[in-house]
Amino acid sequence: MDIERYGIILNTENYDECVAFYRELFGLPLMFEKVDGDFRLTCLALGTAYLMIETEGVAKREGKSVEESATKLRLNVKDIQTALDNVRAYDANASIVEHAWGLVINIVDPDGNHVSIRDEAGFIEQLHSKNICEDYTNLA
């Protein structure tokens, strides 16, 4: 299969807050919006992919369990400390967590969906150390 484009659809209850969260915190540019009766969607550019935020979801502000939402959005950044500074405007308790495989900041969006911010350098290092797929060795 030749995939032309890829994206993530995120159904939300707190639609306006979630759109603002992803646009303001991560600076994701607007691609388009659509309204059809009570249904609304906003499509944001996410690198070469897109994040489509739609209505009709269910929120749990304190964070959804894995059973409630088995997906976590992962965004890799060049400078994790700068990312933490930006995230703290949203979540003052956010911190960098160090793992053997890299650094992450774990937060939840206004609907309780889990978002993880990871250091790109650690990801590239992990790719090179595993050398599983040669197609990815030129990412650094």
* Cut 0.85: pTM above it: yes
Domain encompassing residue 77: 71-140
| CATH code of residue 117 | 3.10.180.10
Q: Report the number of distinct structural domains present in the chain.
A: 2
Tell me, yes or no, whether 2 lies in a domain.
Answer: yes
36 with 94, same domain: the answer is no
Show Cβ contacts of residue 116 under 8 Å, excluding neighbours closer than 6 positions: 72, 73, 74, 75, 104, 105, 106, 107
What does each of the 140 residues of the chain score in pLDDT, given as a tens digit? 999 999 999 999 999 999 999 999 999 999 999 999 999 999 999 999 999 999 999 999 889 888 898 899 999 999 999 999 999 999 999 999 999 889 999 999 999 999 999 999 999 988 888 666 555 545 55
Phi and psi at residue 81, to the nearest 5°: -70, -40
